[in-house]
Homo-oligomer: A and B are copies of this chain.
Amino acid sequence: MNVHFLIIPLYQNNTIMAKLQKSKDKREALVKATICLVNNDGFHAAPMSKIAKMANVSPATIYLFFESKQDLVNKVYLEVKTAFSAYAFETFTTNMEVEAGFELIWNRIADFKLKDPDEAMFLAQCDNTPMIDEPSRQEGIKHLQPLLDLWHRGKEEGVIKPISDYLLYAYSINPLSFLMLAQHRGECSINEQTITEAYQAAWDSIKL
């Protein structure tokens, strides 16, 4: 059996890595700038020139990473949504009891919103406006499948009310987004106690 090696000189490898990293840094800076500006001004009041300036990059450079402004926000949305879902379901397994699973996921979602408030805020705005195009929105929704599955099982087992997924979503998950919004506007502050109270209310509203 022959074993082949691809031999790359160390100095070259290093520069390639450094190169890739620099490129990644720029892209990440653009993503962060987009989230920040869209959160504060809204999609259409966040011009490409401003996004570029905040990311310390030329407007033209944006088009090396993204096809258009619409493509930029679509991609940012999908990436943030993916990170959000990964975090929400990270410690969840499908063999859990429904109530335990719900509590776990609910708290992970709350954690995410505390940990990355800007990303959470951005998602809330994407989900509430005609800012993201339909295919990307559909793609983003798919990531919540584990939660939908859990709800379906909960309904079959008679643990949660036989109401629609939208109602379940509205009563258990969505209110957190409203709180985030209020916090962003400086009208309230989310802390340990708020989170606990919110979970209690969430469970009370959906349990059978």
Which residues of A are interface residues toward B (Cβ below 8 A)?
Answer: 40-45, 124-125, 128-131, 161, 163-164, 166-167, 169-171, 174-176, 178-179, 181-182, 187-188, 194, 197-198, 200-202, 204-206
| Min CB gap A208→B, angstroms | 10
Cα of A178 to Cα of B163 in the assembled complex, Å: 15
Asked if A201 and B194 make an inter-chain contact with CB atoms under 8 angstroms apart, the answer reads no
- Shortest CB-to-CB span from A144 to chain B, Å, is 13
**How far is B166's CA from A163's CA once the two chains are assembled, in angstroms?**
24
Whether B42 lies near A45 (C-beta < 8 A) is no
**A43 in contact with B40 (CB, 8 Å):** no
Chain B residues contacting A167 (CB-CB under 8 Å) are 175, 179, 194, 197-198, 201
Please, could you name 26 A-B residue pairs with CB atoms under 8 Å apart, sorted by A?
A: A40-B130, A41-B130, A42-B43, A42-B129, A43-B44, A44-B45, A45-B130, A125-B129, A128-B129, A128-B181, A161-B197, A161-B200, A163-B197, A164-B194, A164-B197, A166-B182, A167-B197, A170-B174, A170-B176, A170-B198, A171-B175, A171-B198, A171-B201, A174-B178, A204-B205, A205-B205
Closest chain B CB from A35 CB (angstroms): 14
- For residue A169, which residues in chain B have a CB less than 8 angstroms away from its CB? 178
A41 to B43, CA, bound (A): 12
Note all chain B residues with C-beta closer than 8 A to A200.
161
Told that A166-B188, A174-B178 touch, could you supply 8 new A-B pairs with CB distance under 8 A?
A42-B43, A42-B44, A129-B129, A161-B197, A163-B197, A171-B198, A171-B201, A205-B205
| Min distance, Cβ A70 to any Cβ of chain B, angstroms | 11
Closest B residue to A38 by beta carbon equals B130
List B contacts of A166 (CB < 8 A): 178-179, 182, 187-188
